[in-house]
Amino acid sequence: MKIGFIGLGIMGKPMAKNLLKAGHQLVVYDIQKAPVGELVQAGAAAGESPRDVASQCELIITMLPNSPHVKTAVLGKNGVIEGAKPGSVLVDMSSIAPLVSREVAAALAGKGIEMLDAPVSGGEPKAIDGTLAIMVGGKEAVFERVKDVLLKMGASAVLCGEIGAGNVTKLANQIIVALNIAAMSEAFVLAAKSGVDPERVFNAIKGGLAGSTVLNAKAPMVLEGNYKPGFRIELHIKDLQNALDTAHEAGVPIPLTSHVMEMMQALKVDGKQTEDHGGLIQFYEKLAGVKVRKGGVK
């Protein structure tokens, strides 16, 4: 299948490479030229604009930072909507506001273009090895049509409901991840400040009820003081803002999310917004006057 791929950032570039490895023809576009060149060297063709990409492909995938970027790439000048043929499918794998997904889908439907919202979880490592968790909203028939392609980028692809449901599910995911990181941070700072080696705490609890995928992924990084981004704090701030906006529209209080949002905003003020979201622990370290590292207090 000839697939268009728009957005070749930290996540999009390895996802597109996995589609190439699976044998699909790709036409790619990004406002940055370097990743486009890298994909072309790997066997893709370069598109001149989202419109150009859409005109050549029956399936178009977008992987962009936030709602405004998706609206511009899809509905703006030289956007997907200007090039896509009736019957083609747009799969937006960005993490955006559910209401925007529905707005974009409605505009595309007026041109006979189908859409799924299909945000992902797993960060850069799982994007590279093709084991992302993909959460999908849209028509079941459209989902079944593209499911095999999605599973070249992810270990799972689950239809969660109508359009927008994928992004609601992603917001739920991001709330749980953020609160897990905050809980881990509180616990490890308590251990270090109390003179107990946090690495031993991690090894003791990871097989019990407190164990989680988040703990296993982030604790080793924290213990090394490694905040190289797999998923940046600034992107988690974006997701939590979408969660707060969606919750307020639905009349749902999410006070714990609000607290973690303020912690991440404090780190942004400290210039740490491009670090990995596991770096949230630095908020607690600063308050307690301790560094969590292997061997205990540093």
- Which is the catalytic residue, given 126, 170, 218, 238? 170
> Rounded CA gap, 152 and 287, in Å?
44
170 is catalytic: yes
Angle ∠(296,224,205) on CA atoms, nearest 5: 60
- Of residues 181, 189, 187, 176, the one with CA closest to residue 287: 189
Per-position DSSP letters for 201-244, written without gaps between them: HHHHHTTSTT--HHHHHHHHHHHHT----SSBHHHHHHHHHHHH
28 beta partners: 5, 46
Label residue 86 exposed, middle or buried (CB < 10 Å: 0-12, 13-18, 19+): exposed
Dmax (CA) of the chain: 65
Catalytic residue list: 170
